[in-house]
Amino acid sequence: MEKAQNKEGCSPGSQLLNPDSRPQSGLSRLILHQFRNYQDLDLSIRDGPVILTGPNGAGKTNVLEAISFLSPGRGLRSIKLSQVTNLKKLNQDTSSPPSWAIAATVETDLGSVQLGTGLDYTASGNERRLIKINGQPAKSQASLTEWISVIWVTPQMDRLFLESASLRRKFIDRLVYALDPVHSERVHRYEHHMRERAHLLREGHYDPLWVSTLERYLAEDGVAIVVARHQVVKSLREAQRQEKGYPFPQFHAEMTGDVETWLENQPALAVEDLYTEKLKASRRHDGEVGGANIGPHRSDFQVHHLAKQLPAELCSTGEQKMLLLAVTLAFTRVQENYRTCPTVLLLDDVAAHLDDQHRLVLFQEICGPTRLPPQEGPRGLFQVWMTGTDRSAFQDLNGQAQFLTVHNATLTNGF
């Protein structure tokens, strides 16, 4: 069994955690079982940023991926659930279906909460995610966002502005979950109703009254989704730092789509009516093509580099990464005004690719509880987890972060 070791060589179960050093906000304990290259890991987390360093293939990103499963969806690698199961276990035990589990203790304003998730199967054998909150099964993955929000920047997201709009919508929706926990329930319900309508339209024989009711639900939730995203994107624009010499680029960001355009000059209730009418008019088309022609599932999150006067997708790879970090940093400032539930920010392999100036500003802004001079601020609302192969990239955080060395799925506490 591979276990996290602290520097004295003991296994830091929660009973060994000094309560004074427990984070005010975020994870205080993380347990992994049969998750990727970890057979069993039990990790206690102290206050302040958590830095994972170690060679390629050690298991750093896997830890971040496990944390990302404490939010709705398929994790930061967007993967089929069974692929996450530890391969060694799979090969040893071919009689039972793949399984894995994660448990976390999360410190919130309301006290500690135990979150659990793992791979489970429906009666018909389909994979699904089991979610437990304080030991009780939760009704949906969306329930997680009432307790914690998890956002991330990974090397795969270097292409966020070049990839499909669905990835950008997911990115924005995660930010909205952090500020408005009802949003994920709304998105979940919207998708459910859309699938149900699409199924009925495809079959061809349906009760028009029921389809009209579904369209009304879609319009109500759809408009609410657009409004919530719009508010967050507007806050991001307003929260960006504008002073001279700030190293991250200034940006213009907006959500675009039909419903967004209608809302520019009509009140929400009128847009709901218009949207319902449009859905009714496109039944035949939607029945043939599937999905729905209009709605927030077709919106896009568009970002412009102001100094370059270019849309993000035309900027260089490096500029796109800086834009993404600028948006993420703006989000950390927006979140300070909300304080809903703890937000965990996962930065996979980000620090190593920044120059000294960008890195220092990034650390100053995100390391909340340990804000580096000269910036003073309230205690952080975030828990930040960062990875890298090079320990020296994090030297500005010496003495202020929990450093963990990862080697072959074993974590060792360092300085």
Which positions touch ligand ADP (CB under 6 A)? 36-37, 54, 56-62, 84-87, 406
Q: Which of 25, 61, 68, 105 binds Mg ion (CB under 5 A)?
A: 61
| Least distance in angstroms from the C-beta of 60 to Mg ion | 5
Q: Which stretch binds Mg ion (CB under 5 A): 59-67, 124-132, 227-235, 247-255?
A: 59-67
| Least distance in angstroms from the C-beta of 61 to Mg ion | 3
Tell me which of Mg ion, ligand ADP, none is bound by residue 59, counting a contact when its beta carbon lies within the kind-specific cut-off of 5 to 8 angstroms.
Answer: ligand ADP
Tell me which of ligand ADP, Mg ion, none is bound by residue 229, counting a contact when its beta carbon lies within the kind-specific cut-off of 5 to 8 angstroms.
Answer: none
| Least distance in angstroms from the C-beta of 62 to ligand ADP | 3
The candidate with the shortest Cα–Cα distance to 172, out of 302, 341, 365, is: 302
Residue closer to Mg ion, measured from CB, 116 or 388? 388
Residue closer to Mg ion, measured from CB, 361 or 404? 404
| Least distance in angstroms from the C-beta of 99 to ligand ADP | 12
Residue closer to Mg ion, measured from CB, 61 or 400? 61
Tell me which of ligand ADP, Mg ion, none is bound by residue 58, counting a contact when its beta carbon lies within the kind-specific cut-off of 5 to 8 angstroms.
Answer: ligand ADP
| Least distance in angstroms from the C-beta of 221 to ligand ADP | 36
Tell me which of ligand ADP, Mg ion, none is bound by residue 71, counting a contact when its beta carbon lies within the kind-specific cut-off of 5 to 8 angstroms.
Answer: none
Residue closer to ligand ADP, measured from CB, 65 or 215? 65
The Cα 175–Cα 340 span in angstroms is 12
Joined tokens for residue 357 = 């100036």
| Least distance in angstroms from the C-beta of 74 to ligand ADP | 14
For residue 284, how many other CB atoms are within 10 A of its CB? Answer: 9
Tell me which of ligand ADP, Mg ion, none is bound by residue 257, counting a contact when its beta carbon lies within the kind-specific cut-off of 5 to 8 angstroms.
Answer: none
| Least distance in angstroms from the C-beta of 36 to Mg ion | 11
Residue closer to Mg ion, measured from CB, 220 or 349? 349
| Least distance in angstroms from the C-beta of 33 to Mg ion | 21
Q: Which stretch binds Mg ion (CB under 5 A): 55-63, 91-99, 220-228, 352-360?
A: 55-63
| Least distance in angstroms from the C-beta of 115 to ligand ADP | 21
* 372 contacts 363 by C-beta, under 8 angstroms: yes
Instruction: Tell me phi and psi for residue 342, to 5 degrees.
Output: -60, 145
Residue closer to ligand ADP, measured from CB, 37 or 250? 37
HEC string of the chain?
Answer: CCCCECCCCCCCCHHHCCHHHCCCCEEEEEEEEEECCEEEEEEECCCCCEEEECCCCCCHHHHHHHHHCCCCCCCCCCCCHHHHECHHHHHHCCCCCCCCEEEEEEEECCEEEEEEEEEEECCCCCEEEEEEECCEECCCHHHHHHCCEEEEECHHHHHCCCCCHHHHHHHHHHHHHHHCCHHHHHHHHHHHHHHHHHHHHHHCCCCHHHHHHHHHHHHHHHHHHHHHHHHHHHHHHHHCCCCCCCCCCCEEEEEECHHHHHHHHCCHHHHHHHHHHHHHHCHHHHHHHCCCCCCHHHCEEEEEECCCCEEHHHCCHHHHHHHHHHHHHHHHHHHHCCCCCCEEEEECCCHHHCCHHHHHHHHHHHCHHHCCCCCCCCCCCEEEEEEECCHHHHHHHCCCCEEEEEECCEEEECC
Residue closer to Mg ion, measured from CB, 294 or 346? 346
Tell me which of ligand ADP, Mg ion, none is bound by residue 405, counting a contact when its beta carbon lies within the kind-specific cut-off of 5 to 8 angstroms.
Answer: none
Tell me which of ligand ADP, Mg ion, none is bound by residue 98, counting a contact when its beta carbon lies within the kind-specific cut-off of 5 to 8 angstroms.
Answer: none
Residue closer to ligand ADP, measured from CB, 91 or 392? 91
Residue closer to ligand ADP, measured from CB, 32 or 312? 32
- Residue 53 binds Mg ion (CB under 5 A): no
* 217 contacts 254 by C-beta, under 8 angstroms: no
Q: Which residues of this protein are in contact with Mg ion, per CB under 5 A?
A: 60-61
